[in-house]
């Protein structure tokens, strides 16, 4: 069985962060592991508290994982402090991690800021150059490219700028901001659009976490970047389309739409 590691924050409501990542990885057929960067007290209406782990403890978790069950892919999500980003960069280099997917999480759907300004600089300097692919949404793409993104043409210009600056593939997600759920992948082969039908579902908590984990799972299984993105997008469309409706705010998706309860113990 292929294996994947998520390095991210815990979402107590289970729709985003580590919990979304693990549900996604299981449903996509890989063995899921985690290194927790922070605990959040969070539900579908907002984040009420964040408690970061220490850099040393994050390193301990990464040592424990990499020295025992080596991950075939690594997904990185919420990391709010520079010290933690530095710890991740150091350990990924030490263990020669492969298939690194960075979701540069900055602001939650509910509006809470999930990264310090100083950490954004460290992310740019230390982590993005190590990534195989980064998956910014439109506001994150604006921060990383230093330009406004207001049209599909702007998305191409921004993704190219990010690709050239950090030397990694860029999946710029149109999901929240543009009319359709069209995402742009920029690689050394240039731009490629992945078209998606916008699903009329307000429950989009954790869509970014979920897509990046699906891509990491697909890379772990040996897919090309294009196939990993295409299949990842299919997965998120089905999870959103399952129309789960939980909580008072922007609710979670049904990550386990393909999981069956129709099993029995054979005697
Ligand atoms: N309503 C929708 N219908 C179909 N696909 C969607 C919808 N909303 C988002 N997506 C898709 O979900 C994926 C995640 O994109 P999105 O822009 O929502 O990321 P994000 O803002 O980082 O997510 P979040 O911050 O909520 O975790 C993309 O493939 C996007 O196209
Ligand atoms: C621990 C954690 N990580 C990431 C997100 C972003 O996801 P979203 O923007 O969908 O709330 C989150 N809310 N919580």
- Residue among 64, 68, 65 at smallest CA distance from 33: 65
Q: Is residue 253 part of a domain?
A: no
- Verify whether residue 55 is a known catalytic residue: no
Of all protein residues, the one whose alpha carbon is nearest to atom 10 of ligand 2 is 206
Residues 6+ apart with CB under 8 A from 85: 79, 119, 122, 123, 126, 127
Domain total in the chain: 1
254 within domain boundaries:
no
Domain annotation covers residue 259: no
ipTM value = 0.94
Any domain includes 11: yes
Residue 264 placed within a domain: no
- Per annotation, catalytic residue among 6, 196, 209, 251: 209
CB atoms within 10 A of CB 124: 17
What is the distance in A from the centroid of ligand 2 to the CA of 48?
13
The domain that contains 233 carries what CATH number? 3.40.1190.20
Q: What is the Cα–Cα distance from 200 to 214, expressed in whole angstroms?
A: 21
pLDDT digit string, tens, across residues 81-115? 999 999 999 999 999 999 999 999 998 777 788 89
Neighbours of 129 (CB within 10 A): 12
**If you measure from the C-alpha of residue 4 to the centroid of ligand 1, how many angstroms do you get, rounded to a whole number?**
22
Picking from 78, 106, 87, the residue whose alpha carbon sits closest to that of residue 6 is: 78
Please tell me the residue having the least CA distance from ligand 1 atom 23: 208
Domain membership of residue 67 as a residue range: 3-241
User: Confidence band (pLDDT; 50, 70, 90) for 175?
Assistant: confident
Distance 221 CA to ligand 2 centre (A): 25
* 70 lies in some domain: yes
On whether residue 221 sits in a domain, the answer given is yes
Q: Is the dihedral of CA 158, 137, 66, 223 positive or negative?
A: negative
CB-ligand 1 contact for 204 (6 Å cutoff): yes
Question: In sequence order, what are the residues at sequence separation of 6 or more whose Cβ sits closer than 8 angstroms to the Cβ of residue 31?
Answer: 1, 2, 3, 4, 25, 69
246 in any annotated domain: no
Say how many Å lie between the first and final Cα of the chain, rounded: 25
- Model confidence over 28-74: pLDDT tens digits? 999 999 999 999 999 999 999 999 999 999 999 999 999 999 999 99
Residue 260 has pLDDT above 70, yes or no: yes
Residue 105 Cβ contacting ligand 2 at under 6 Å = yes
């Amino acid at each position: 069985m292929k294996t994947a590691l998520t390095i991210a924050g815990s979402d107590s409501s289970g729709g985003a962060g580590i919990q979304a990542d693990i549900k996604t990885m299981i449903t996509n057929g890989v063995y899921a592991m985690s290194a927790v960067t922070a605990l959040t007290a969070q539900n579908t209406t907002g984040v009420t508290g964040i408690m970061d782990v220490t850099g040393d403890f994050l390193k301990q978790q990464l040592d424990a994982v990499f020295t025992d069950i080596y991950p075939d892919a690594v997904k990185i999500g919420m990391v709010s402090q520079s010290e933690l980003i530095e710890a991740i960069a150091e350990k990924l280099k030490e263990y020669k991690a492969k298939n690194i997917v960075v979701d540069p999480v900055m602001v939650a759907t509910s509006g809470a800021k999930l990264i310090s300004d100083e950490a954004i600089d460290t992310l740019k300097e230390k982590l993005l150059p190590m990534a195989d692919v980064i998956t910014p949404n439109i506001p994150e793409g604006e921060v990383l490219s230093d330009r406004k993104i207001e049209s599909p043409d702007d998305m191409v210009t921004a993704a190219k700028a990010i690709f050239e600056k950090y030397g990694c593939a860029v999946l710029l997600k149109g999901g929240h901001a543009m009319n359709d759920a069209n995402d742009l992948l920029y690689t050394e082969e240039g731009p490629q659009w992945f078209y998606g039908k916008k699903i009329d579902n307000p429950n989009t908590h954790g869509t970014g976490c979920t897509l990046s984990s699906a891509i990491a799972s697909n890379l772990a299984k040996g897919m090309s970047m294009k196939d990993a993105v295409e299949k990842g997008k299919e997965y998120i469309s089905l999870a959103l389309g399952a129309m789960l409706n939980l909580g008072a705010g922007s609710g979670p998706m049904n990550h386990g739409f393909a999981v069956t309860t129709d099993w029995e113990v054979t005697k």
